[in-house]
Amino acid sequence: MPDTIDFAAELNPQQHAAATFGNGPLLVVAGAGTGKTRALVYRVAHLLGRGVPPHRILLLTFTRRAAQEMLGRVARLAGGSSARVHGGTFHATAHRLLRAYGPAAGLAKDFTILDQGDAEDLMGMSRAALGFGQRKSRFPKKETLHHVYSRHVNTEISVEDILRDDLPQFSDLAIDIKKVFAGYTTRKEERNLVDYDDLLLFWVAMLEGSPELGARIASLYDHVLVDEYQDTNALQARILRAMAATHRNITVVGDDAQSIYAFRGANVRNMLDFPKQFEGTTVVALEHNYRSTQPILDVTNTVISRARQRFTKNLFTQRTGGEAPALVAAKDEHEQTSWVVDRILELHEQGTPLREMAVLFRAGYMSADLEIELTNRKIPFEKWGGLKFLEAAHVKDVLAFLRILENPRDEVSWFRVLLLLPGIGDATARTAIDLLQARRWDPEALAELTPPPRAREAYTQLVQLFAALRDGNVDRAVPTEIAALRRMYDAILRERYDRVEPRLADLDQLEIIAGKFPSRAAFLSELALEPPSATQDLATGSSTDDDALILSTAHSAKGREWDAVFVIWAVDGWFPSSRALRSDEETEEERRLMYVAMTRARHHLAVLYPLNSYGSRWGSEYTIDQLSRFIDVGVRERMRRMAAYPAPAPILAPEALPGTPLDLRALLRGRFGAP
Ligand code: ATP
Ligand code: MG
């Protein structure tokens, strides 16, 4: 029960002020591990205690996992009623609102959500349709086009300015690029598709474009609270302004030193300008770090003290003692892996659960060697970030079938499914899709096309499959649909992919997960919106019962903490990533990312760097690596430097040997008659 919480005892005075703050705009700005998230959780509990109904509270976070965890914490504090607090990401919230209010704003019902990969494919189709695909002169790739598009709509910076600053080699193509964007927009509309950016854009448009509708949506909530506010963008700031326009009960917390999403259009100015946007804002600063030991803070404070711009202050802690963070030079990747695994087992034997330890890296692929070693040694692990389960080709294949059933106008999915059939290439797929479009996307139209001979059998199967699945008399449960389409697809999977068994197991898992959703539409939207990083994420909600080591990208580790943290591949070009070093801004963002990674540690922190790597990524050369530029002299001085495995012990010289001494040189001299 809320009234049994002793706020004053469980929070420091600044946190207490934030948690029990009355009404109006509130900004909590503070460094890593100062208890921002904790203050926010207590604030929700306090609001509930004040009698604010749970469904009138909107708690916005950056991942589903973060939302679940915060609401779980509120529930433990305040009791069951918190279950109905609305929590989630901006995108998931936008989705819920669009399903409810979109039809009133001209959005056709039953739209499907395009994930990033699909959006890029659709951009590619728009580019090809305009004939920019085959041009001799260079034209941006579909991924680049999508990046520019997304940056433009999220930041409100003009396409021309983005090209000039980021892609000057294409700056004379602005007109053509905008034609591709126009085509992309039309395609989305004709095919009833909504991409991630649209979710936010449409939310803003509903709020700002119609006074009645806007007021209606804003009046759903009495309090809006946002964690990690430093990573919001201009659109999200507008959304919040409109959502809080009447009641002005908005609480945001953040740390400018941890802003790591500028590459997606986030703007730390949102947070710094918050008091200007909301007149009368109360600002609370926190400086007491509760997470890390002093030796760890000494190092992380030094890392971030090199940042060019910074507003939050150095932190202090009362967790004295503990050893200095280790800086470990490994001979190569394999040695790095061995050291990390040995150390993890050692800490585990001393009583640290695996779940309290994490290995962090700059990009998902950097943990490959470690994953193999962990598997060999039978150490359970969970991977966050990087390649997601849903990005796996075979899972995308099956989802493409389902998406066609949901929305027969889904061109991207048609393309994917048609290309799966042996003997069908781009040209035939295109012809089939044109035919479908001409026939208002009725899958029956496919029967009119005569496929190339090699494709005939599979093609006929496909036509029959869609006819059967679209038959109104058939059971519509999603697992049944998946089972039906797998009768055709599993054979294709065996032909196309290696490592067949784990892939088939993934699909079994997908069938089970699908059974938990009330409808196909609900299942597909959920998957597109909050891609789970592993099947376990969806199957059980959370798998906190099993003890498993966490492997995570630095981005996905945001907001979390572990007893022991290992940052691997602290090599210049890897972390910072060589791809993010084109400008000072990018370098600064990489520095903040390193800061985020290192500040996750409570008691043990180790930073590792292999001295050599065989990289297929660098050609097949053998390269000599350099330590990350962020671990500079001043940082190193505060760390314990060590080699992963010390050189073998020298053979000690005997003190004295009996007998006549040999003269080795004289042996050779004698041989050639030298003096
Ligand atoms: P980040 O910037 O990484 O998101 P944060 O500022 O949100 O960090 P929290 O995660 O809320 O910090 O808190 C860090 C740790 O300190 C948590 O384990 C939390 O429970 C603990 N903590 C925070 N405030 C207090 C407090 N007043 N008393 C005891 N422990 C606290
Ligand atoms: Mg936090």
Tens of pLDDT along 563-572?
999 999 999 9
Which atom of ligand 1 lies closest to the CA of 11? 27
Name the closest-CA residue to atom 4, ligand 1. 559
Ligand positioned closest to the Cα atom of 73? 1
Mean pLDDT, all residues of the chain: 87
Q: Give yes or no for a contact between 407 and 191, defined as CB atoms under 8 angstroms apart.
A: yes
Rounded distance from Cα 255 to ligand 2 centre (Å)? 9
**Does the pLDDT value for residue 204 go beyond 50?**
yes
For residue 620, list its beta bridge partners.
618
* Contact assessment for residue 530 and residue 92, using Cβ atoms and an 8 Å cutoff: yes
The mean pLDDT value for 283-310 works out to 91
| In the predicted structure, residue 561 carries a pLDDT above the cut 80 | yes
The listed range with the strongest mean pLDDT (130-144, 240-254, 437-451, 452-466) is: 240-254
Beta-sheet pairing, 288-289 with 57-60: unpaired
CA angle 292, 295, 300 (to 5 degrees): 70
Could you give phi then psi for residue 575, rounded to 5 degrees? -150, 95
* Closest C-alpha residue for ligand 1 atom 19: 35
d(CA 670, CA 675): 8
For ligand 1, atom 9, name the residue with the nearest CA: 35
Q: What is the pLDDT of residue 475?
A: 61
| C-alpha 101 to ligand 2 mean position (Å) | 32
Strands (E), 75-202: 86-88, 112-114, 193-195
| pLDDT classification of 473: cutoffs 50, 70, 90 | low
Nearest ligand, CA of residue 30? Answer: 1
Model confidence band, residue 324 (pLDDT cutoffs 50, 70, 90): very high
Question: Within a 10 A sphere around the Cβ of 197, how many other Cβ atoms?
Answer: 21
Average pLDDT over every residue of 623-644: 91
* Span from the CA of 290 to the centroid of ligand 1 (angstroms): 6
Atom of ligand 1 minimally distant from the CA of 289: 16
Going by alpha carbons, the residue nearest to atom 31 of ligand 1 is 290
Cα 234–chain centre separation? 20
Length reported for the chain: 675
Report for 38-42, 111-115, 152-156, 376-380: range of highest mean pLDDT: 38-42
Q: What ligand 1 atom has the least distance to the C-alpha of 31?
A: 2
Q: Is the pLDDT of residue 629 over 50?
A: yes
Kindly report, residue by residue over 159-203, the tens digit of the pLDDT: 999 999 888 889 899 999 999 999 999 999 988 899 999 999 999
In whole angstroms, how far apart are CA 81 and each of 2, 42, 365?
A: 10, 14, 41
Centroid of ligand 1 to alpha carbon of 507 (angstroms): 39
Q: Which CATH superfamily is domain 296-385+545-643 in?
A: P-loop containing nucleotide triphosphate hydrolases (3.40.50.300)
Our measurement of the distance from residue 501's CA atom to the centroid of its chain's CA atoms, rounded to an integer in Å, reads: 27
> How far apart (Å, rounded) are the C-alpha atoms in residues 408 and 429?
15
Nearest ligand 1 atom to the CA of 15 is: 27
Range of lowest pLDDT (87-91, 104-108, 644-648): 644-648
Q: Would the CA dihedral through 193, 197, 198, 200 be positive or negative?
A: positive
Asked: is 7-103+198-288 a CATH 3.40.50.300 domain? The reply is yes
**Distance (Å, whole) CA 246 – CA 227:** 21
From the CA of 602, how far away is ligand 2's center (Å)?
Answer: 14
Can you tell me the distance from the alpha carbon of 227 to that of 60, in angstroms, rounded to the nearest whole number? Answer: 6
Residue 638 Cα to ligand 1 midpoint, Å, equals: 24
How many CA atoms, within 13 angstroms, populate the side-chain half-sphere of residue 541?
Answer: 7
User: Average pLDDT in the 543-555 region?
Assistant: 80
Give dist(CA 420, CA 418) in Å, integer: 5
CA angle 512, 513, 517 (to 5 degrees): 115
pLDDT in tens, 362-396: 987 788 789 888 888 889 988 876 555 666 788 88
Look at 50-54, 239-243, 309-313, 461-465 and tell me which has the smallest mean pLDDT: 309-313
Q: Which residues line ligand 1 (CB under 6 A)?
A: 11-12, 15, 30, 32-38, 255, 258, 290-291, 559, 561
pLDDT of 292 over the 60 cut:
yes
> Which ligand 1 atom is nearest residue 39's CA?
11
Q: Which one, of 23, 505, 451, lies nearest residue 244 by Cα? A: 23
pLDDT band at 546 (very low <50, low <70, confident <90, very high): confident
Q: For the residues 336-341, what does the mean pLDDT come to?
A: 96
The residue type at 273: D
